[in-house]
Amino acid sequence: MHKIKRIKTGNLLWAFLLLMFASCGPDVIYEDYVTIPEGGWSKDSMASFNVKIDDVNTYYDIFINVRNKSDYPNSNIWLFIDVTSPEGKTIRDTINCYLADEHGKWIGSGWGDLFLVHYPYRRNVKFAEPGDYRFNIIQGMRYDELEGIHNIGITIEKSPHASSSDQ
């Protein structure tokens, strides 16, 4: 009896791992997360991501990924996003990511007490020059220590809506 259970558990684990890798797909060129400390996300700290862009003829979609705990006290999160080009030019955006609907139900996909929102930040972006781009994300919620956010991440993938022939 125990042997069958172990085999089923092993098969379930392999199926889960295959699903995780398949979800990334060949069009994802970058995905990474920063884990927020247990005590909260300090208003003075940032999540930093270094992304190497080689192909400037391709259009990309950029997503901000927010993994919140079920005890997160708000329905949204304001984020400041600084993007620095290889040349050193920086642009700043402010975005409002909704994490719950008007009834307080978490809108992200969930597992246990964690919910993940894959928030579209920019679509059909062409990077101006090849090289290393730096994305810095800062919480803008006016809390010294914002509790209830588990991870913050970024995904960059080739855009299915545009191609280099769309110029």
**What's residue 74's pLDDT?**
96
Residue 163 pLDDT level (bands cut at 50, 70, 90): low
pLDDT digits (tens, 9 = 90+) for 36-91: 999 999 999 999 999 999 999 999 999 999 999 999 999 999 999 999 999 999 99
Q: Where are the domains of the chain?
A: 27-166
**Euclidean distance between CA atoms 80 and 122, whole angstroms:** 14
pLDDT at 7 over 80: no
Instruction: Classify domain 27-166 by CATH architecture.
Output: Sandwich (2.60)
**What's residue 112's pLDDT?**
84
**Euclidean distance between CA atoms 109 and 87, whole angstroms:** 37
**Euclidean distance between CA atoms 156 and 31, whole angstroms:** 6
Look over the chain and give the mean of its residue pLDDT values, rounded to a whole number: 86
**What's residue 57's pLDDT?**
95
